[in-house]
Chains A and B, each alone.
Chain A
Amino acid sequence: MEPLLEMRGIVKRFGSATVNDHVNLTVYPGEVHALLGENGAGKSTLMNILYGMYQPNEGMIRVRGKEVEITSPKVSLAAGIGMVHQNFMLVDTFTSAENVFLMADRPFWSLTRKGQVAGELTKLSEQYGIEVDLTSPVSKLSIGMQQRVEILKLLYIGADILIFDEPTAVLAPQECDALFEIIKKLVANQKSVIFISHKLEEVLRISDRITVLSRGRVVEDTANENLDQAKIVEMMIGEAFRTENVEKTHQTRQEVVLSIEDVCAADSRGVQTLNHVTLQVRRGEILGIAGLEGNGQDELMDVITGLRRCSAGRIAMAGKNLTAASGETFVREGVGYVPSDRNNVATVRKFCLYDNWLLRRKQRETGHYLHYRKIIRDTEEAIAAFDVRTSGSDAVTENLSGGNLQKFILGRELSKEPKLLACSNPTRGIDVKASWAIRNRILQAKEDGMAVVLASGDFEELLYLSDRILVLYKGMIFAETTPEQTTVNQLGSMMMGVKPV
């Protein structure tokens, strides 16, 4: 069979760093081709080249046997290549139909006939089993629905090669299943799918072929036969990998660290997204918070770390009332926070590491004059202790890969020996090895007697780490359960407001 897409000898350099080093990739029609690799292995760069966002320094791309020079996304689209980006490329204020129509290659003077477009889209969505609300603004749609709009966009313009960049990172398990159904229908219609994911179990489930990248090179290109997770991880990091798990005990101690009562809060639009939540966290306990995006978990995490004022209710840390306290007071009272946005909330991207080390620190500890020699020493100790791979404490933060930055942030927060550690999606978008390092650190913190609140969209992680799980739905505690009592699927149902039978 003739390949649909061939990338040959692709080289891309950013400054002195070679991010893609003579990469080959061949995709056949009707196959799901998984692209794997740790953070910084060069997957995103390769896909951005294929999509015309970056230009390669060397190499060539053939589509259906014909060489094409992809100089812009437009050329790429015309060649039948489309990408479902991780951060959806949708105009929030437009409806689904308008977003799809934006892709249409029509003369600029033509009218946007909404009825006609809606008809065509309904036909497409029936063919591929993609249900989409066509008339509401995209910002009002669920994440899963927005993703389907992205897929529909590409099908509308007749793309044959669809790139999915970590499509399941933001989805609930049921939504994932629905997505996989759609992908199966796509390949059944002789479309090709390039599937990028960190979740190996999904990759094994959905893909026909697997290409593994490491440090910008292809290290493996194999059919999905007789493979298991351990083998893939070995290919990715070039060594056998064992998860050296910290012994997990369920010895929660008695002292309550954080106690919130009847707390309400509004999100940045002013809409109340957290409704009368009451919870307690004890020493040595990991409390998992499950919820689909936009059901109040972001606001909850912000409220318990002092980044957001609650509009009603009481918050107390170790018996001390912090209801209207400033963010700095929360830090002083021993609250550590690993927010989900590590690039903008947790750190200042343009600062070097030792400057970021100073953030979220008590004034009393640093003083008014900064003793940089000591600060740099502390930073370097943490870099070593937490295995942060970087050129040094003077490296600019935005140059760190996601996993290394997250390890640094966790190290910074733990260095303050907090009483409460709040983690929001600590391993989102982070490769296997770094993820396990972070999870083990969180378990260690619990063993050391910290109270931990963990909000995560990764169910396996929630079930593995938590002692107790609260499910948030529409800003309220919908259910409380433990990892022993529940499964991934039950958790998914509860997050969508369905009580398990």
Chain B
Amino acid sequence: MLSGSFFAALLASMFRMSTPLVFGATGEIVAERAGVINIGLEGQMLLGAFVAFCVQFTTGSATVGILCGALAGAVSTLPLTGLGVCRRQNQSVVGIMFNILMVGLTSYLYRAFFGVALTAPSIQTLPALPIPLLNRIPLLGEALFSQNALVYLSIFLAIGTWFVLSKTMLGLRIRAVGENPRAAQAAGISVIRTRLGSMCFAGLLGGLGGSFLTVAYVGRFMDGITSGRGYIALAITILGRWNPVVALGGALLFGLVDAFQLRAQAMSVPIPYQFFVMLPYAVVLLSILLMGRNSSEPKALGDPYEKEGR
């Protein structure tokens, strides 16, 4: 069982399992660093998954499908930002409502478009795109460098986002808005616009994460296909201490446990399979518990900022 090929397949599965979470958590980190708590991530992923599936189904192009999925995620943050930032409503409540709305909306639209067929409509999943030379590295070549384009993109975006947040003017401004919006405003930064942009980015990445599920992983759309991955990405944001690279590690940990439990289910172990399904969630909860409270949480997170306060 513990042969090399088993191990490579496990790692490959780990990267695939974690990709939607890497997208989701990276986007969420940017939103939260700007001080907005984007609970609606789950809904954005679900919408992205649905839109990407529909567009690829009709146009036949995976690229167009993914782009539309990402765009749908980004656009869907506008009402959230409008309510939670501009109108200063409770961001968590607004996000939860949005998620419930998206579950209903995508299920309804799916039936409206495709009806109820005996065989569910499907699309071709994204082909693997092995990277020449690198894919010959033992173990890692098979596990990481023979994946599809979205897997690479997610890792690239996580590292790129880390760079932007910690090394550029834009990152400095985003962090300032999430730490002390009054100070940021006094420095001539538009708090609202920064938060709007950060939320759009979060939605864009949420949409990409959702697209991955339908376009690159399953090839079909099902009701509630995200099955809580948006919420897990929220947890990974905390686990990653609002640092995209650490969060990447957190997502991989979840992916690893998830990949392992899928394999464990297939083995005839006399444990009910539900326990295996619970395992990755339990591991994330436990690691947050063990980490304790940490100080890297943006100080103004979820804080409705009022400009002309008196």
Contacts and interface: CB of A to CB of B under 8 A. Distances in A.
Interface in B286-310: 299, 307-308, 310
Interface string A85-123: 100111111100011011111111111100000000000
B297 to A, nearest CB: 10
Interface in B148-186: 167-173, 175-176, 179-180, 182-186
A108 B201 CA distance: 15
Interface residues of B, number: 24
Contact of A73 (B171, B176, B186, B299): B186
Contacts of A78: 188
Given A14-B310, A102-B176, A108-B170, A90 B188 contact: no
B117 interface: no
Given A73-B185, A77-B188, A89-B187, A104 B169 contact: yes
Contacts of A110: 168-169
Contact of A105 (B172, B188, B307): B188
Contact of B179 (A51, A74, A94): A94
A107 B176 CA distance: 16
Contacts of B182: 89
B299 A92 contact: yes
A380 B190 CA distance: 45
A109 B186 contact: no
Contacts of B167: 111-112
A41 to B, nearest CB: 15
Contacts of A153: 187
Nearest to A107: B169
A111 B188 contact: no
Given A14-B310, A91-B180, A109 B188 contact: no
A89 B168 contact: no
B5 to A, nearest CB: 44
A128 interface: no
A36 B308 CA distance: 23
Q: Which of B171, B176, B187, B189 has the most C-beta atoms of chain A within 10 angstroms of its own C-beta?
A: B187
A445 to B, nearest CB: 33
A51 B188 CA distance: 10
Contacts, number: 79
What's the dominant secondary structure at chain A's contact region?
Answer: loop
Given A108-B170, A111-B169, A103 B188 contact: yes
Contact of B169 (A53, A72, A93, A108): A108
A112 B172 contact: yes
Interface string A419-463: 000000000000000000000000000000000000000000000
Given A85-B186, A103-B187, A105-B188, A91 B175 contact: yes
A134 interface: no
A241 interface: no
Contact of A109 (B170, B189, B299): B170
Interface residues of A, number: 33
B180 A92 contact: yes
A118 to B, nearest CB: 15
B294 to A, nearest CB: 12
Contact of A98 (B172, B184, B299): B172
Interface string A75-86: 001100001010
B103 to A, nearest CB: 36
B169 A91 contact: no
Q: Which of B182, B186, B307 has the most C-beta atoms of chain A within 10 angstroms of its own C-beta?
A: B186
Nearest to B183: A89
A111 B168 contact: yes
A478 interface: no
Interface in A45-77: 51, 53-54, 72-74, 77
Contact of A54 (B168, B171, B299, B308): B308
A105 B167 CA distance: 16
Interface string B182-224: 1111111110000000000000000000000000000000000
Contacts of B169: 101, 104, 106-112
Contact of B188 (A72, A85, A93): A72
Contacts of A90: 180, 183
B30 to A, nearest CB: 13
A108 B188 contact: no
A91 B168 contact: no
A108 B197 CA distance: 13
21 contacts: A14-B310, A53-B185, A72-B188, A73-B186, A73-B188, A89-B187, A91-B175, A91-B179, A92-B179, A92-B180, A93-B299, A98-B172, A102-B172, A102-B184, A102-B189, A103-B188, A105-B188, A107-B169, A108-B168, A111-B169, A112-B167
Given A89-B182, A102-B172, 19 more contacts: A53-B185, A53-B308, A72-B190, A73-B186, A74-B188, A89-B180, A90-B180, A91-B176, A92-B180, A92-B299, A93-B299, A94-B172, A94-B175, A99-B183, A106-B169, A109-B169, A112-B167, A112-B168, A112-B172
Interface of B: 167-173, 175-176, 179-180, 182-190, 299, 307-308, 310
**Across the A-B interface, the 8 shortest Cβ-Cβ residue pairs:** A74-B188, A108-B170, A89-B186, A89-B183, A91-B179, A102-B187, A91-B180, A103-B187
